[in-house]
Structure formats: structure tokens, C-alpha cells
Amino acid sequence: MRILVTGGAGFIGSHLIDRLMEQGHEVLCLDNFYTGDKRNILKWIGHPYFELVRHDITEPIRLEVDQIYHLACPASPVHYQFNPVKTIKTNVLGTLYMLGLAKRVKARFFLASTSEVYGDPDVHPQHEEYRGNVNCTGLRACYDEGKRVAETLAFEYHREHGVDIRVVRIFNTYGPRMLENDGRVVSNFIVQALRGEPLTIYGDGSQTRSFCYVSDLVEGFIRLMNSDFIGPMNLGNPGEYTILELAEIIQGMINPTAELIFNPLPEDDPKKRQPDITRAKTYLGWEPTVPLFEGLELTIKDFRDRLKS
Ligand code: NAD
Ligand code: UDP
């Protein structure tokens, strides 16, 4: 199959491309390199089944493909808040153009949505029927509301134009290839501990997140794309930790003498987050297999290697 991966040079996209290439597909990687890195896909450059397209999805593009995995969008609050209007354009215009492409060439369209559609949730754990609690004028809205519109666009292209869609809501995912300056909590704590700098906990660290290792997530993507279920579907690891617990785990694994410091909590930071993955278990027979400690070891090794070179 010819498969387009938008955001393919990014963290999750590049792991997805590895799996698709290993399965023998022809892969088009589309990226504007805002948070993506050519090194993530370097091993496929020159492969006859791989093509790299430098393009910004806020502009239309014509391609011939059978499936589209639509991931292009900065995922870290630091990066998506750097240029919020651009984040909205990427989510709204970018998704609109990709759905237009899917409609024209009759490709199956997969949207990488997010647990952020639930905002600061007042239902716990979050199941797909929950409609969320998003502040539409807050600092996170460019991303949260952008993804909510992206989901709406996907469902309307499905209902109105018969586009074959799959919608996944991704919960916090980590693993090798996260950028050193990504700004998300796992990469921040690992890089800080490796450099002997204090680990920066925002707030008192009592807020929770549930961390999924990237290979588990990619397995879920491929199962959903090739299933009959359109979604939305949560994919994430239900193992829930406070941010303070995470800091202590990473401190213990890398540098027990590293200092923990407490900085102000960013506006609208969700207080708790944990996926209800009953749907994924029921429809895909999917659940995560990599425990946090094991996934962190692999991620720490990757950062150690990169920081050395
Ligand atoms: P990432 O920032 O590493 O990757 C995003 C990629 O999209 C980058 O390569 C970037 O250059 C590219 N991109 C951004 N704007 C673009 C544009 N206008 N045109 C073309 N390319 C563009 O992030 P990631 O963690 O790999 O996330 C991938 C997708 O998964 C995103 O859609 C994100 O919203 C979603 N997601 C990720 C997580 C997570 O924990 N990693 C959680 C929820 C949702
Ligand atoms: N966080 C933190 N220190 C950091 C980076 C993040 O305490 O150096 C916190 C952040 O405030 C949030 C949690 O960790 O409560 C997860 O943040 P991240 O940016 O990774 O993801 P998101 O908030 O989008 O879930």
C-alpha cells in the first residue's frame, strides 16, 4: 500500500514509519520540520519505497495514496503555544486539506487526536463518551480546540462525503527520539537529570498523567487503522502517576542526588488524566505491554547516546 504519514519526521510519526516500512509498504513522509528532525527518518532516505516531502499542511497538496496517517501538529505545550495561531491553522486548515485529499483519492484517513479534547477533566478515568472540559479562551485552547475541530471535520467528511475515517485520542506518550528541548515532562526530567540540573516540577507535582511507551501506541495505531471501528478511541497506558512520583522515579534511575525544584503551575494544566481503554481492548484486543520502568530505561539510553554525541 502507499501510505502518507503527515508529521512523519516527528517523534511518534517516525516510529510509525519504521513499522510501516518494515511491513513492506511504500511510505510518503510529509513534514515541515517545525518540531521534526531529519535524523529520525535518516535510515530510510534513499530506500526505493520511501519518499520525503517537505511541505506545510496549511497549504493544499495533491498526492496519490491509499491510507493517510495524519499526525502533523506540534504536541508539546511549549511548541504549540509558541505560535498559537499557526497551531490552529495546522489543526483546522491542515486537517481540512488532508481530508480533502482523502476524499479525492478515496484514501482511509486516520486522525491523531488527543486526550486534550477532555481538557481538565471532571470525569476520571476518561472514557470516549465524556465530552470534556476545555477552556476555549485559555493558553491550551489553540491545541485542544484545534483538535476538537479536527475531530469534527473528520466526522463530517465521513457523514457528508463518505470518507473512511479512524480517530484516535492519544494519551501522554514517551520514548526514544523525543527532542532534547521538547519541553514535555518525561524528556525534561531525563535531560535535566542527565545534565545534573534540578528537575523542574510545575506546581506541587500532585497532578497526574498516564504514560504510554511509543511502541505500544504505534501497535494500537496500526490495529485501529486496519479495523472496522472508526472511533474515537482512546490509546494510552492506564498506569497513572503523579508528576512528583515521576520525578522521583527518574531521579532514582539517573541521578539520586539531583535536586527537585518547584516552579509555578502553567495555566489550565489538567489536574489528572488516565485513559479508560475498554474500547481499545474490546475492538482491537489492544493493551499496553511496556511497563513505565522498562520504557524509561530505553528512553534514558537514547538520550544518553544523543547527549554524548
Ligand atoms: P512531534 O512534535 O514530535 O511531531 C509533530 C510533527 O509534525 C513534527 O515532525 C513537525 O515538524 C510536524 N508538523 C507540525 N506542524 C506541521 C505543519 N504545519 N505542516 C507539516 N508538518 C508539521 O509530536 P508527536 O509527539 O510525534 O505527536 C504527533 C501527533 O500525535 C500530533 O498530532 C500530536 O498532537 C499527537 N499527540 C501526541 C501525544 C504525545 O504524547 N506524544 C499525545 C496526544 C496527541
Ligand atoms: N511538567 C512538569 N515539569 C516539566 C514539564 C512538565 O512538572 O518540566 C508537568 C506539566 O505541568 C503537566 C505534566 O508535567 O502537569 C505533563 O506535562 P507535558 O507537557 O508533558 O504534557 P501535557 O500537560 O500536555 O499532558
Say what the ipTM of the complex is.
0.99
For 204-239, the pLDDT digits (tens) are: 999 999 999 999 999 999 999 999 999 999 999 999
Question: Is residue 287 helix, strand or coil?
Answer: coil
pLDDT(257) > 80: yes
Q: Which ligand 1 atom is the nearest neighbour of the CA of 74?
A: 2
For 128-154, the pLDDT digits (tens) are: 999 999 999 999 999 999 999 999 999
Which ligand is closest in space to the CA of residue 14? 1
Q: Which ligand 1 atom is the nearest neighbour of the CA of 173?
A: 40
Type and span of the H or E element at 110: strand 108-114
Could you give the CA distance from residue 147 to residue 121 in angstroms, rounded to a whole number? 16
Which ligand is closest in space to the CA of residue 79? 1
Instruction: Point out the catalytic residue in the list 69, 143, 157, 213.
Output: 143
pLDDT at residue 33, as a whole number: 98
Pocket residues for ligand 1 (CB within 6 Å)? 7, 9-13, 31-36, 56-58, 71-75, 90, 94, 112, 114, 170, 172-173
Cα(86) to centroid(ligand 2), Å: 22
Q: Per-residue pLDDT averaged across 110-131, rounded?
A: 98
How would you classify residue 24: left for phi > 0, otherwise alpha for psi between -120 and 50, otherwise beta? left
In 3-state terms the chain splits into helix, strand, coil percentages (rounded to 5) of 40, 20, 40
pLDDT at residue 308, as a whole number: 85
pLDDT at residue 243, as a whole number: 98
Residue type for 88, please? Answer: I
* C-beta separation of 237 from 174 below 8 A: no
Q: For a substitution probing ligand 2, which of 185, 190, 200, 259 has the most ligand atoms within 8 Å of its CB?
A: 185
pLDDT at residue 52, as a whole number: 98
Q: Per-residue pLDDT averaged across 146-172, rounded?
A: 98
Q: What is the mean pLDDT of the chain?
A: 97
Share above pLDDT 90 across residues of the chain, in percent, rounded to a whole number: 99
The overall pTM is greater than 0.95: yes
For 31-65, the pLDDT digits (tens) are: 999 999 999 999 999 999 999 999 999 999 999 99
Confidence of residue 279 (pLDDT cuts 50, 70, 90): very high
Which residue's alpha carbon is nearest to atom 21 within ligand 2? 184
Q: Per-residue pLDDT averaged across 73-77, rounded?
A: 96
- In CATH, the number for domain 2-177+212-238+274-290 is 3.40.50.720
How would you classify residue 145: left for phi > 0, otherwise alpha for psi between -120 and 50, otherwise beta? alpha
Which set of grid coordinates corresponds to residue 289? Answer: 505491554
Could you give the CA distance from residue 279 to residue 265 in angstroms, rounded to a whole number? 32
Helix boundaries (H) for the chain = 11-22, 77-80, 84-105, 141-161, 185-195, 214-225, 243-254, 278-284, 292-308
Q: Which ligand 1 atom is the nearest neighbour of the CA of 13?
A: 26
Could you give the CA distance from residue 182 to residue 47 in angstroms, rounded to a whole number? 28
Question: Is 143 assigned a catalytic role?
Answer: yes
pLDDT(169) > 80: yes
pLDDT(10) > 80: yes
* C-beta separation of 224 from 284 below 8 A: yes
pLDDT(309) > 90: no
